[in-house]
Amino acid sequence: MSAEPPRDSIALAITGASGALYATRTLAALLERRCHVELIVTEYGRRLLRDELGEAAAVDRLIDYLIGRYGESVRQGSFTLYSNRDLGAKIASGSQDCRAMIVVPCSMKTLAGIAHGLSRTLTERAADVMLKERRPLVIVPRETPMSLPQLRNMVLCAEAGALVMPAMPAFYQMPKTLDDLADFMAGKILSAIGFSHELYPRWGS
Ligand SMILES: Cc1cc2nc3c(=O)[nH]c(=O)nc-3n(C[C@H](O)[C@H](O)[C@H](O)COP(=O)(O)O)c2cc1C
C-alpha cells in the first residue's frame, strides 16, 4: 500500500482567448502542488499558446516549456491531455473525480456554450458536469469591450454557480513584468479553489 496521499484532480481548459500566460502559470502552479490536471486545449487555445508564447509552448512540448519557464518543481504533478472533441473522455461524466474546473483564458464562444449548457465540446460538457454536480467552476473570460450578450452570458454562468473571474490583474502590487501579472491571476484562481500560495504579495503586507 502506498503512503502517498491521493492527488488532487483538477480539470483545466485553455481556450482561444488572449492571455495564454495566465493558463501556463495556472497549470504550472497546480503541478507544483502535486495535482493531477485533466487538461483540455481547444483548437484556438493551441493557436494562442503558440502565437503568444512561441513555438516552444506548443501543446506537444508543453511540459518542457513549463519546466524551462517555471522550474523543475512542475514535475511533482502530472497531466492528461484530452481532445476538445472527445465527449467520451472521463471528465465528460459526473462520476469523474475532479474536485474543481478552471477555464483560463475563456473565450466568449466557450463562455456562451457554458452559459447555455450546450455541451457541444469536452470543455463545455466538463463545465456543465461541474455545475450540475455543484462543484467549483472558475471561468476567466477575456474580451474588451463586451457586448450585451457576453455580459449576460457571464451573469448566466454566475447564476448557475460558476465563479466568474475576468482576467483583470491588479496594479497595486506594482507589477514589473508580464509574469507578475500572470502570477496575480493564477494566485486568484488558486485561492478560489482552496489552495494557499505566495504568487503575489497580500494586500497590506
Ligand atoms: C490571436 C487571437 C486572439 C483572440 N483573442 C480572443 C479574446 O481575447 N477573447 C475572445 O473571446 N476570443 C478571442 N479570439 C477568438 C476566439 O479564438 C474564437 O472565437 C474561437 O472560435 C474560440 O474557440 P474556443 O473557445 O473553442 O477556443 C481570438 C482569436 C485569435 C486568433
Could you tell me the distance, in angstroms and rounded to a whole number, from the CA of residue 104 to the centre of ligand 1?
12
Query: Which ligand 1 atom is at minimum distance from the Cα of 84?
Result: 26
| Residues 74-100 pLDDT 10s | 999 999 999 999 999 999 999 988 999
CB atoms near residue 124 (< 10 Å): 25
Quick check: CB of 16 below 6 Å from ligand 1? yes
User: The pTM is what?
Assistant: 0.96
Summarised one tens digit per residue, pLDDT across range 14-67 is 999 999 999 999 999 999 999 999 999 999 999 999 999 999 999 999 999 999
Contact between residue 106 and residue 22 where contact means Cβ atoms under 8 Å apart? no
188 C-beta closer than 6 A to ligand 1 = no
pLDDT category at 6 given cuts 50, 70, 90 is: low
On whether the CB atoms of residues 179 and 21 are closer than 8 A, the answer is yes
Ligand 1: which of 14, 18, 110 to mutate, most ligand atoms within 8 Å of CB? Answer: 18
Q: Report the atom number in ligand 1 closest to the C-alpha of 18.
A: 8
Percent of the chain with pLDDT over 90: 91
* Alpha-carbon separation of residue 93 from 24, 83, 158 (angstroms): 25, 15, 22
Cβ of residue 107 lying under 6 Å from some atom of ligand 1: yes
Q: What angle do CA 201, 50, 64 make, to 5 degrees?
A: 70
- Say whether pLDDT at 184 is over 60: yes
Cα of 143 vs its chain's centroid, Å: 16
CB hemisphere CA count around 133 (13 angstroms): 20
For the segment 62-71, what is each residue's pLDDT rounded down to a tens digit?
A: 999 999 999 9
For residues 25 and 31, what is the distance between their CA atoms, to the nearest angstrom?
A: 10
pLDDT digits (tens, 9 = 90+) for 120-148: 999 999 999 999 999 999 999 999 999 99
Does 96 sit in the ligand 1 pocket, CB within 6 Å? no
pLDDT at 202 over 90: no
Task: Tell me what the mean pLDDT of segment 170-199 comes to.
Answer: 95
Query: Does the structure show a pLDDT above 80 at 203?
Result: no
pLDDT at 190: 97
Rounded CA separation 89/79 (Å):
14
Position 7 pLDDT exceeds 90: no
Name the grid cell of 37: 490536471
Distance between CA atoms of 6 and 65, rounded to whole angstroms?
A: 26
Return the ligand 1 atom nearest residue 107 CA: 11
Q: How far is the CA of 15 from the centre of ligand 1 (A)?
A: 7
- Where residue 201 falls among pLDDT bands split at 50, 70, 90? confident
Give the list of residues 6+ apart from residue 91 with CB closer than 8 angstroms, or none. 11, 38, 40, 82, 98, 122, 126, 129
